């Protein structure tokens, strides 16, 4: 299980970084979404997620830590708002320039 | 004073933002309400500053009554108290400017509530004692600032907002990653608790946890993007030039300070055992920022862009102060932060004032050249402001630059001192060049100032504060020295947050 999860994180990160560096702004924004999901998966992996005993109890057994889950929930909610905002702005920008090519969106430069 | 009062500077504007949203049908009431809320919360901050300095120990509030390493702590120590007073004072001035501005932004009913949430985010970053909470407040700053920028009069406002949001979203995602890595290494997110564990680990001399260095690097990179330090500055000038004036004045003066504040906390509390290495890097990026920012400001043709690049140079001075470290270095950085916030917001408001008086609403020098003939009062303010920015006595810029140079002399860093000393002369050249273009060049045929424009009240107040802090700089310097002595001894901070250890 550990191997599968770490492999998944690596693949997601690599895909995200690759998309982030594309010239198409929509793809590059999607890269941001993928990276954020890779980090959420990483947060899941750092907590002991398959145990049965609470981490604060003085009992014997495989421990489980709920805190990273709370972190993930908060991060998901925040990033959902953020990405909705990103794509809304992207829609306006693309409608104005009628292209998704980052090299064509240059009015700010001068 | 109860410990609950520590959270009021966050709670008052947050509740105020909610009520302001309900008042969206009554724009006048909404503006007055926002102004009142910012006044109340500034009074609360000043009260906290007074309390912290008179009681001599940090005021700590544990949210929900959960004791330190488990719950979220809100910590008001000397550094945070000075920072929140600075933030809220400048935000109040920005609100006053916005009340009387002619921007389109004012017609949006969410403008004032977003202004309040920006205040919440900034205050929260300065007060929190928990790294995950830091992430949440950083995200709040980013989303409020980007939405405020998108309401610009400028056609490319949305583009600028997108650019900023994209970069900052990436930065906050990496702050989240840093939180994950630090939790993986030490199992806690409380800053005081982390400081103890990292110190014990470093003193033991064994290898640090495998992910620890990566966490440190992620924190460092995030704060670099937040304060727009040298290699990550590229988004800042575009963004500041396109934002509405009241917003760009806030962005360039107080929003960038969240990153500088983060660096102070990193080198004196969180990663204290590794401070020498971090300080080396800070010195390097600071010096490059001072030189590069000075030259870039020289090459611009837009007043707001010029001041945005000048922010890059001034942030460089603060990073040099933190890099040299010691009581004097940190105190210099604190004084510089406060003074720069006042000067830079005043200068950007004056640029926005000129743009609002010009026929086409833009602060590019083409457009405002010669306009000063009709606007003599703003010329006086601009002149005093640029003297302060360049660091000439008897203004507050002189006090802050003097402290940075003294910190450098004490640290015996002669080569760095020579470099930034020469680069700081550039400030005088580019601000004087702008002054000359606007107030001394005769206006071209047909150039006339419009009758209606923004009000000069807020920049006048800020310039007045600059003069007062220049002539009576003693008070600010002495509290900054005290604050610096506090942060040099993290043991007191840790003991206040976490009495069990």
Which segment of A33-37, A76-80, B24-28, B359-363 scores lowest on mean pLDDT? B359-363
Q: What is the pLDDT of residue A104?
A: 81
Are B180 and A90 in contact (CB < 8 Å)? Answer: no
Are B183 and A46 in contact (CB < 8 Å)? Answer: yes
Strand partners, B73: B62
Are B139 and A78 in contact (CB < 8 Å)? Answer: yes
Nearest alpha carbon to residue B39 among B460, B31, B465, B476: B31
Helix axes B457-471, B376-390, angle to 10 degrees: 40
Ramachandran class of B60: left when φ > 0, alpha when ψ lies in -120 to 50, beta otherwise: beta
- Across chain A, which distance is largest between two alpha carbons, in Å? 65
Nearest alpha carbon to residue B434 among B248, B250, B309: B309
Nearest alpha carbon to residue B122 among B261, B269, B21: B261
Write out chain B's pLDDT in tens, 501 residues: 788 888 999 999 999 999 999 998 898 999 999 999 999 999 999 999 999 999 888 899 988 888 878 888 999 999 999 999 999 999 999 999 998 887 887 888 899 999 999 999 999 999 998 999 999 999 999 999 999 998 888 788 888 899 899 999 999 999 999 999 998 888 888 999 899 889 988 888 878 888 889 999 999 999 999 988 888 888 888 888 888 888 989 988 899 999 999 999 999 988 989 999 999 999 999 999 999 988 888 888 888 889 989 999 999 999 999 998 889 999 999 999 999 999 999 999 999 898 888 887 788 888 888 888 888 888 999 999 999 998 888 888 899 999 999 998 988 888 888 888 888 888 888 888 888 888 888 877 777 777 777 888 999 999 999 999 989 888 899 999 999 999 888 888 888 887 775
Q: What is the pLDDT of residue B141?
A: 94
Q: Which of A34-48, A54-68, B78-92, B200-214 has the highest mean pLDDT?
A: B78-92
Nearest alpha carbon to residue B225 among B295, B175, B284, B177: B175
Residues of chain B with Cβ-Cβ distance to A68 below 8 Å are 180, 183
- With b for 16 or more beta-carbon neighbours within 10 A and e for fewer, the B163-186 pattern comes to bbbbbbbbbbbbbbbbbbbbbbbb
Q: Which two tokens stand for residue B382?
A: 């601009």
Spatial CB neighbours of B499, under 8 Å, sequence gap ≥ 6: B68
Q: How far is B154 from chain A (nearest CA, A)?
A: 10
Residue linked to tokens 């976490």: B498
- Asked if pLDDT for residue A61 goes beyond 80, the answer is no
Phi, psi for residue A101 in degrees, rounded to 5: -80, 125
- Asked if pLDDT for residue A55 goes beyond 70, the answer is no
Ramachandran class of B442: left when φ > 0, alpha when ψ lies in -120 to 50, beta otherwise: beta
Q: What's the CA gap between B332 and B422, in Å, rounded?
A: 19
- HSE-CB at B18 with a 13 A cutoff on CA atoms is 5
Q: Which two tokens stand for residue B89?
A: 């004072």
Residues of chain B with Cβ-Cβ distance to A96 below 8 Å are 155, 158-159
The three-class DSSP label of residue A24 is strand
State the best of B149, B151, B169, B363 to mutate against chain A, taking most chain A CBs within 10 Å: B169
- Asked if pLDDT for residue A92 goes beyond 60, the answer is yes
First to last CA, chain B: 25
Which positions in chain A have a beta carbon within 8 angstroms of at least one beta carbon in chain B? 20, 28-29, 32, 35-36, 39, 42-43, 46, 67-68, 71, 74-75, 78-79, 81-82, 85-86, 89-90, 92-93, 96, 105, 107-109
Strand partners, A24: A101
Are B143 and A67 in contact (CB < 8 Å)? Answer: no
Q: What is the pLDDT of residue A109?
A: 66
Phi, psi for residue B122 in degrees, rounded to 5: -65, -45
DSSP per position, B225-241: HHTT-GGG-TTHHHHHH
Q: What's the CA gap between B259 and B77, in Å, rounded?
A: 18
Are A82 and B143 in contact (CB < 8 Å)? Answer: yes
Q: What's the CA gap between A82 and A95, in Å, rounded?
A: 20
H or E element in which residue B258 lies: helix B257-265
Residues of chain A with Cβ-Cβ distance to B242 below 8 Å are 108
Helices (DSSP H) in B362-413: which residue ranges?
A: 365-368, 376-390, 396-411
Q: What's the CA gap between B477 and B458, in Å, rounded?
A: 24
Closest in A67, A81, A105 to B159, CB measured: A105
Residue linked to tokens 């937040």: B226
- Across chain B, which distance is largest between two alpha carbons, in Å? 75
Strand partners, B59: B76
B-chain residue closest to A48, CA distance: B184
Q: What's the CA gap between B390 and A75, in Å, rounded?
A: 42
What would the CATH number be for the domain defined by A2-102?
A: 1.10.287.3510
Q: Are strands B59-62 and B73-76 parallel, antiparallel or unpaired?
A: antiparallel
Q: What's the CA gap between B220 and B323, in Å, rounded?
A: 13
A-chain residue closest to B242, CA distance: A108
Q: What is the pLDDT of residue B464?
A: 93
Show the CA angle centred on residue A32, arms to residues A27 and A38, nearest 5°. 120
Q: What is the pLDDT of residue A58?
A: 66
Q: What is the pLDDT of residue A48?
A: 66
**Any A CB within 8 A of B170 CB:** yes
Q: Are strands A53-54 and B59-62 parallel, antiparallel or unpaired?
A: unpaired
Q: How far is A74 from chain B (nearest CA, A)?
A: 8
Q: What is the pLDDT of residue B104?
A: 80
- ipTM of the complex model: 0.91
Residues of chain A with Cβ-Cβ distance to B156 below 8 Å are 107-108
Q: What's the CA gap between B240 and B237, in Å, rounded?
A: 5
Contact (Cβ atoms closer than 8 angstroms) between residue A91 and residue B150: no
Phi, psi for residue B74 in degrees, rounded to 5: -105, 120
CA distances to A2, A32, B67, B105 from A22, in Å: 31, 11, 47, 33
Contact (Cβ atoms closer than 8 angstroms) between residue B309 and residue B296: yes
């Amino acid at each position: 299980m550990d191997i599968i999860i770490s492999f998944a994180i690596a693949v997601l990160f690599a895909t995200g970084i690759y998309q982030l560096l594309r010239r198409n702004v929509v793809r590059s924004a999607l890269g941001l979404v993928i990276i954020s999901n890779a980090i959420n998966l990483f947060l899941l992996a750092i907590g002991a997620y398959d145990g049965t005993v609470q981490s604060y109890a003085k009992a014997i057994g495989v421990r489980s830590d709920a805190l990273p889950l709370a972190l993930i929930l908060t991060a998901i909610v925040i990033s959902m708002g953020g990405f909705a905002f990103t794509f809304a702005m992207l829609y306006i920008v693309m409608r104005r320039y009628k292209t998704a090519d980052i090299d064509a969106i240059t009015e700010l430069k001068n | 004073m109860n410990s609950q009062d520590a959270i009021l500077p966050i709670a008052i504007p947050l509740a105020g933002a909610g009520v302001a949203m309900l008042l969206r049908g009554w724009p006048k009431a909404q503006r007055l309400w926002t102004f009142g809320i910012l006044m109340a919360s500034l009074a609360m901050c000043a009260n906290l500053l007074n309390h912290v300095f008179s009681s001599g120990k940090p005021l700590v509030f544990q949210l929900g009554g959960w004791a330190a390493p488990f719950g979220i702590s809100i910590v008001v120590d000397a550094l945070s108290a000075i920072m929140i007073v600075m933030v809220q004072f400048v935000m109040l001035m920005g609100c006053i400017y916005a009340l009387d501005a002619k921007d389109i932004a004012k017609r949006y009913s969410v403008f004032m509530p977003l202004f309040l949430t920006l205040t919440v985010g900034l205050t929260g970053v300065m007060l929190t004692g928990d790294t995950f909470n830091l992430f949440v407040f950083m995200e709040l700053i980013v989303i409020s600032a980007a939405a405020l920028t998108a309401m610009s009069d400028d056609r490319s406002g949305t583009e600028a907002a997108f650019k900023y949001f994209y970069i900052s979203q990436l930065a906050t995602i990496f702050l989240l990653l840093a939180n994950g890595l630090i939790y993986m290494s030490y199992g806690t997110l409380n800053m005081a608790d982390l400081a103890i564990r990292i110190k014990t680990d470093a003193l033991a001399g064994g290898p640090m946890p495998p992910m620890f260095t990566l966490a440190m690097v992620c924190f460092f990179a995030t704060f670099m993007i937040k304060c727009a330090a040298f290699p990550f500055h590229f988004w800042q000038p575009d963004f500041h030039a396109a934002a509405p004036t009241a917003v760009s004045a806030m962005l360039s003066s107080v929003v960038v300070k969240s990153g500088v504040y983060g660096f102070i906390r990193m080198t004196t509390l969180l990663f204290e055992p590794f401070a020498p290495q971090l300080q080396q890097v800070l010195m390097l990026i600071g010096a490059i920022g001072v030189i590069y920012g000075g030259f870039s400001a020289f090459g611009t043709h837009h007043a707001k862009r010029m001041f945005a690049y000048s922010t890059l140079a001034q942030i460089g001075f603060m990073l040099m102060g933190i890099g040299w470290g010691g009581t004097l270095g940190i105190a210099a950085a604190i004084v510089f932060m406060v003074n720069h916030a006042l000067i830079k917001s005043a200068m950007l408001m004056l640029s926005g004032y000129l743009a609002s008086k010009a026929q086409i609403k833009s602060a590019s020098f083409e457009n405002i050249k010669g306009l000063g003939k009709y606007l003599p009062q703003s010329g006086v303010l601009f002149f005093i402001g640029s003297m302060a920015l360049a660091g000439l006595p008897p203004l507050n810029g002189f006090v802050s630059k003097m402290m940075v140079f003294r910190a450098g002399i004490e640290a015996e860093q002669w080569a760095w001192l020579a470099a930034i000393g020469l680069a700081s002369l550039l400030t005088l050249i580019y601000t004087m060049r702008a002054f000359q273009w606007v107030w001394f060049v005769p206006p071209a045929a047909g150039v006339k100032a419009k009758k209606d424009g923004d009000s000069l009240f807020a920049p006048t107040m800020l310039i007045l504060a600059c003069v007062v802090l220049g002539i009576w700089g003693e008070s600010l310097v002495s509290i900054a020295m005290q604050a610096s002595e506090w942060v040099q001894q993290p043991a007191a901070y840790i003991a206040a947050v976490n009495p069990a250890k």
